[in-house]
Amino acid sequence: MDAASEFAIAPLFQTGPDPTPYRRLALDGVRVERWNDRRFTVVPAEVLSALAEEAFFDLQHLFRSSHLAQLADILRDPEASASDRFVALELLKNAVIAAAREFPSCQDTGTAIVIAKKGQFVLTEGDDAAALSAGIARAYRRYNLRFSQLAPLSMYEERNTGTNLPAQIDIEATPGDGYAFLFMAKGGGSANKTFLFQETPRLLHPERLRAFLEEKVAKIGTTACPPYHLAIVVGGLSAEQTLKTVKLASCRDLDGLPTTGDGSGRAFRDPVLEQEVLRLARELGIGAQFGGKYFCHDVRVIRLPRHGASLPIGIGVSCSADRQIRAKITAEGVFLEQLETDPAKYLPEVAVDIGEATPIDLDRPMDEIRAALSRLPVGAPVSLSGPMIVARDLVHRAIAERLARGGKMPEYFIHHPIYYAGPAKTPAGRASGSFGPTTAARMDPYVVEFQKLGGSLVTLAKGNRTRQVVESCRRHGGFYLATIGGAAARVGRDMIRKVEVIDFPEFGMEAVWRIEVEDMPAFLVIDDKGHDFWTTKVRLRVPMSAD
């Protein structure tokens, strides 16, 4: 008797039938061959490359219908705040623009990730990872996407690869004669909001686990562009299994799991705890970036088996740039998930109350801009028109190094608001590519020094900031404005009128840009009196993280 016949082996992830709507791609070359009474699906390398290219083109511009429907639900909910509705409406407008396949939905077109399951009776010609990578590189080269991957030249020196490679490609061997794929583009903002906590079994108690989750969920903050699809995984046979399950759950790839466990150790969803966590997330008051109810669209809570001495807990999100797409190759051909090509049908038929915004003329001297902002309460919506300077991580570090050598603060940092952002490629005939904000908190270590020297007195980005920035704005008369994360196509097409590089051109998309905007929406989050929207308007039981 062999070992396998002595006991039943149950699959860990029992997800049931695949409910995905697929469309067939016009890709030739997949064939069936027989050998020794076995039927094999044979897949040429170029089919893998073409599939990867098409998948990443689609997911950068289109969303699932279910995601768009959830945004539309916010507009119909009488309990949604004005800012909830404002963000949801802008994200739907952004989806409509992106669906024209010229502007990607987010300027951070992400790390390319492929999670695949290759059946034992699938034969491929060549190196699968190399073929998939070739298709990914083609997509990022041909379309208006951004290269974000940095190659380490040494421990401290890096250089952009110029291809958006390497990609993360994980291929698992499975039974059968089909090849299944999940393609994802994961931006830095949401990737940075993936957490692993090595806890003890004492946490496996309803009240203690709920208190733990409430604290950790609140600390996710707004820097990854809510509303989120939140995923929580309790348990795991290893830390890496826990975190991979978080990623899959945030993509709703494990929705078909059973809702009860059994003695085999199978994974299951806990729908009761999912609803409890969703309720507490909505009670936090964080909302869809600027206060309200819709911090999360939905929650997935998955329980995994564990070693008796370990209790890993993983938490992660899929953000407003909710980008994933399934695909499969069978003997019948190549199929790609059908995403929504007409997001305009989710726009409201009647006007949505999103509140009045105060216009701010950025053509005025900095003292006058600051005086206008000083008259507003924190949380006030504003509409920005005029010139801004765009600078992010590499520029801030370079300027700090220049100051340390005795250099001067650049005049453009003194006389203009600073927008933390980095654009995608500019489509032909357009003023700008997709151009949304990046996470403000990454620039926090520079703010105190820069504001002492008269720079960075008005900044614009996404997410919350540290207490040190609040105090520096109080001391030096500074302001922080937050704009909508996840609506980069809308900003690039409809709000930016001119873009030019004025310094550090060698930094590529992270160069210093001078842009001119028209009616760009934002909210006053930190003012010159020491007020912070997140502590004065939103009553959190625990502070948000600004990581």
Q: Give the mean pLDDT of 460-481.
A: 95
Quick one: average pLDDT of 516-539?
88
Nearest residue to 226 via CA among 294, 315, 281, 301: 294
Instruction: Provide, rounded to the nearest whole percent, the portion of the chain with pLDDT above 90.
Output: 90
**pTM beyond 0.85:** yes
Read off the pLDDT band of 545 (50, 70, 90): low
pLDDT at residue 240 is higher than 70? yes
pLDDT value of residue 349:
80
pLDDT at res. 9: 83
pLDDT range class, residue 464, cuts 50, 70, 90: confident
Q: What is the pLDDT of residues 107-160, one digit of tens each?
A: 999 999 999 999 999 999 889 999 999 999 999 999 999 999 999 999 999 999
pLDDT over threshold 50, residue 325:
yes
Q: How far apart are CA 545 and CA 547, in angstroms?
A: 6
Residue 1: predicted pLDDT: 42
- CATH number for 358-536 (one of 3.40.30.10, 3.90.226.30, 3.20.130.10, 3.40.50.300): it is 3.20.130.10
Looking up tokens 């105090």 gives: 471
H or E element at residue 118: strand 111-119
pLDDT at 353: 59
Query: Rounded to whole angstroms, how far apart are CA atoms 71 and 75?
Result: 7
Peptide bond into 227 cis (omega under 30): yes
d(CA 455, CA 418) in angstroms, rounded, equals 9
Q: Which residue has the higher pLDDT, 83 or 170?
A: 170
Residue of 129, 92, 113, 361 lying closest to 243 (CA atoms): 113
Ranges 81-90, 467-476, 531-540, most confident: 467-476
Spatial separation of the C-alpha atoms in residues 280 and 95, rounded to whole Å: 28
Q: Residue 153: what are its φ and ψ, rounded to 5°?
A: -85, -30
Phi, psi of 4 (to 5 degrees): -65, -25
What does the domain layout of the chain look like in residue ranges? 12-185+322-355, 188-320, 358-536
- Assign 538 a pLDDT band (cuts: 50, 70, 90): low
pLDDT one-digit tens code per residue, 44-64: 999 999 999 999 999 999 999
Query: What is the C-alpha separation between 56 and 43, in angstroms, rounded?
Result: 19
Inform me whether the pLDDT recorded for 456 exceeds 80.
yes
236-256 CB burial, b ≥16 within 10 A, e <16:
beeeebbbbbbbbbbbbbbee
pLDDT value at residue 540 = 47
Q: How confident is the model at residue 534 (pLDDT cuts 50, 70, 90)?
A: confident
Q: What is the DSSP letter of 220?
A: T
Contact yes or no for 252/317 (Cβ under 8 A):
no
The pair of structure tokens assigned to 453 is: 């020297």
CA distances from 50 to 134, 163, 217 (A): 9, 16, 39
One-letter identity of residue 192: N
pLDDT value, residue 536: 73
Between CA 224 and CA 129 the distance in angstroms is 29
Q: Dig out the tokens for 218 from the structure.
A: 């609140």
Which run of H or of E encompasses 274? helix 271-283
Q: Are 183 and 55 in contact (CB under 8 A)?
A: yes
